[in-house]
Amino acid sequence: MASSYRVQNPKNNEIVETFDVMSDADLERAITAADEAFSSWRETSLEQRAEVLRKVASLFDAQREELAQIIAEEMGKSVREGSAEIDDVVEIFTYYADHGAELLADEPLDTQGGSAVMRKVPLGVILGVMPWNFPYYQVARFAAPTLMAGNTVLLKHAGICARSSQRIEEIIGQAGAPTGVFTNLYASHEHITTMLEDPRVQGVSLTGSEAAGRTVAATAGKNLKKTLLELGGTDPYIILDTDDVAESAKTAWKKRLSNVGQACTSNKRIIVMEDIFEDFVAEMVRIAETFVAGDPANPQMGEYYPLSSRDAAETLDKQVKMAVEEGATLHTGGVLAEGSAYYSPAVVTGIPVGSESYYEEFFGPVAEIYPVASEEEAIKLANDSQYGLGGAVFSADEERAKRVANQIVTGMIHVNIPQARGAELPFGGVKNSGFGRELGPLGINEFVNLQRFYVADKK
């Protein structure tokens, strides 16, 4: 079959290596192996599963340099940020290894005439459709609790993550997981439908675009498969007041440029009170203009890196140009380099509220800044979104920030921090950002059968 899996370096758009899409017969063998592995993996003790997860964490830690280099070439992430991503992977696998047994323990239920518990029983084969922006972390977020719960995993990763996805399978195998417990697939989009129509596949977790989520959810729904979706976001980042505009701008900029702006939880709508708006914008422009293009494999301070692909950079460039046509002001940046995926960090104001651009997600290094005159206006602007993933509210008056944050309609909201991180913190959104929760105690419940187990009293 034709190849759609490749390593294509976004620094220069060079295709380094290609991989063939698997055949229908190979897919059938993979599903069969995963289903057969489930029959034994589900009976493996929690202690043994935890031992495998701890070994996975150890192997990721030991191989971090190589793993970071792989994704630097695949999707342009600097090796510094790649190493930080490995930290998250290690934390997630360790968290579920340490806490899996207690999170999966039977929960007693008060009842009469007998005894009852709520059990957490594994479902079977679970499909993961994962994105390119955090090639290891996104998979860990899905796979660690799913495997700990006793399920087996089929991974369909992004087409540009062909090497990193295969390395994940190799590491999980090296950690002691039996063949079929975790399988990387070079599957086509049509193969996703095949898997969701297969009775042996019990559910799907997708992290990606809203469009991809709608397509997969429709197929999963038609086949009555459990679905978890983590989709896009236009996260509000509200600054109600500040004692130091420059420091507030520095914090906001660092958040926006993380992973070159390619994160669902980036601060995509920066909402600032009008009394500090002009100074804040000027500081953001000043910071943006100090950044220069850098090499992901050899990162230095004050650099930005290519987007994941030339296509992604061209899409972002079109979005910014459309916003300007609709009336926005591009203060700096917004230059697409020739023959690569570098896009200079941009600062944009004046995107008309209610316009097409206003509702779009800019998946890249573009700071959209909006002035507001009141808390009420900030809340209205923040909630006037088709998405509802994360967000943050800042104020020197914590009670004021909490009051505003309490009215923001998102799955995650933060006060006086851009975003809290930790394997113990559930992650997910509402509205078009999807449904279900990953990480923390909730994450391990997504792909289990919450089974009522009742034993009658002896008469």
* Active site (catalytic) residues: 230, 264
The phi-psi region of residue 260 (left if phi > 0; otherwise alpha if psi is between -120 and 50; otherwise beta) is left
Distant-in-sequence, close-in-space partners of 27: CB < 8 Å, separation ≥ 6: 185, 187, 191, 194, 195
Enter the tokens of residue 24.
Answer: 């229908």
Q: Which two tokens stand for residue 392?
A: 């943050």
Three-state SS annotation for 383-414: HCCCEECCCEEECCCHHHHHHHHCCCCCCCCE
What is the full DSSP assignment across 109-173? E--SSEEEEEEEEE-SEEEEE--SSSTTHHHHHHHHHHHHTT-EEEEE--TT-HHHHHHHHHHHH
State how far the alpha carbon of 391 is from the alpha carbons of 98, 170, 230, 259, 377, in Å.
Answer: 29, 36, 15, 17, 16
Q: Any bridge partners for residue 237, and if so which?
A: 270, 392
* Residue matched to tokens 């998405």: 387
What is the DSSP secondary-structure string of 64-120? HHHHHHHHHHHH---HHHHHHHHHHHHHHHHHHHHHHHHHTS-EEE--SSEEEEEEE
Alpha-carbon distance 140 to 50, whole Å?
Answer: 14
Q: Give, for 272, the enclosing helix (H) or strand (E).
A: strand 269-273
Q: Is 289 left (phi over 0), alpha (psi -120 to 50) or beta?
A: alpha
Amino acid at 315: T
Closest CA to 438 of 382, 389, 386: 389
Contact status, residue 97 vs residue 171, Cβ threshold 8 Å: no
Measured distance CA(242)–CA(248) in Å, rounded: 7
